[in-house]
Structure 1
Amino acid sequence: MDNKETHTEHCNHTIVEKNQENIFLYTTITGNLQLVHLEEIGYFRYNSKSKLWEVVLYNKHTLLLKRNTNSQKILNLHPCLVQISQSYIINITYLSSIEDNNCLLLSPFSNSETLQVSKTFLKKLKERYPCL
């Protein structure tokens, strides 16, 4: 193998390693493994009827997460995931604005459900992002 091939192989390996931090392998409620990229995730919501966290994806699909998933486990996945209430965790990269205590998200999540920010979490959000 010449130096050019070695360099290309090293660069590709580095790209894969960098992308790994934005790829998650979820175990769904049915026990299946689902590969999800951070940019596909708009937000997580807690479904109080089924008592499960769900992830809402860019293609409008919803994945039910396994029973032992809690908000702290979700928040620990990536720094871009921010809790806005007891029931919602958003991907901050899709946040467009906060109006009347509601998060408005960028496309393809711009027509999603109302994502209300609680006062407690709004305070934490302002502390984390001081320019808000």
Structure 2
Amino acid sequence: MNANEITTVIVDDEPSCIKCLESDLSRFPEIRVVATCTSPDNAAREIVRLQPDLLFIDVEMPGMTGLELLSRIQSDIHPDMHIVFYTAYDKYLLDAIHASAFDYLLKPYKLKELDDLINRLRAHVAKDEKVNIEQSLRKLLIRSKFAVQTISGLVFVKCEEILLFQYLRELRCWQMMLAADRKLYKLRMGTTAKDLLGINPSFVQISQDYIVNLDYLCSIENVTLKCELYPPFTDMELNVSQRYYRRLRDVLEIL
């Protein structure tokens, strides 16, 4: 954790509570709120993507409790994330302790209670400034994993695990193909090519229907613009359209 900045995510289904907590946290110069979420699914995706230093998470939310959300992503977050459960019900205190929460804040909290919590965090950060190399590497590796929203739920993957995205015109949605077993996941409606290309520079669009991972692209024929993928994907027939080939040349360093 960078002692000069504590990245923070707030998860609460009530926007007014988020606004209040975010305002109160603005009094602390080292606290930087990088995301606020009102739904558990969006929260899971953002927490895994951002890997914040500090997480405020409401316990009671529609569809999924904060405890269930944390359990769902536990293996995908770094071990030194400071988790604060905050809720109007103290009956969850024991569960929060079992979930290894850093602290517990009851709504409505008093400013002094929040001040005391941040001071405890500061002390904890100062004590842990000498983070061991293993933890640092684990945090760095986990940051490379992100969440993809499919029609059945969240799928946590790394960039190199994705072979390509294909647009299904009849269903009007994109699907993701994993490289390991060519398993397919239909993505939620509304996901755009721009969304997918923004995940990582390794993803490039070769046509209106295909976005491929450059790590698996071996060559493109001059005349036919046929793509050849690295084994074991040589059996896949993909072509770059003239329109996207021009864009591809701008992205790649062509000798």
Give the shorter-chain TM-score range: 0.7 to 0.9
In the TM superposition, 1:38-57 aligns within 5 A as: 38-57=159-178
Q: Distance in 2 between matches of 1:97 and 1:10?
A: 42
Partner of 2:103: none
Q: 1:122 aligns with which of 222, 245, 249?
A: 245
Q: What's the CA shift string for 1:7-61, capped at 9, x where partnerless? A: 995323332343245322112112x111112111111010001111011111111
Q: What's the CA shift string for 1:71-129, capped at 9, x where partnerless? A: 000000001000111111010011100122121111232222x2111111111111121
Any stretches of 5+ residues in structure 2 without a counterpart? Answer: 1-127
In the TM superposition, 1:1-132 aligns within 5 A as: 9-30=131-152, 32-58=153-179, 59-99=181-221, 100-112=224-236, 114-131=237-254
Partner of 1:3: none
Any stretches of 5+ residues in structure 1 without a counterpart? Answer: 1-5
Between the two proteins, what is the percent identity of the paired residues? 30
Q: Distance in 1 between matches of 2:188 and 2:243?
A: 27
Alpha carbons of structure 1 residues 125 and 11: separation in structure 2 relative to 1, 3 Å: same
More strand by percentage: 1
TM-score of the superposed pair, with normalisation by structure 2:
0.45
State the AA in 1 paired with 2:217. L
Alpha carbons of structure 1 residues 21 and 82: separation in structure 2 relative to 1, 3 Å: farther
Q: How many residues align?
A: 125
More helix by percentage: 2
State the AA in 1 paired with 2:254. C
Secondary structure of 2:249 counterpart: helix
TM-score of the superposed pair, with normalisation by structure 1:
0.84
Secondary structure of 2:235 counterpart: coil
Q: Distance in 2 between matches of 1:127 and 1:62?
A: 30
Q: Distance in 2 between matches of 1:110 and 1:9?
A: 45
State the AA in 1 paired with 2:214. I
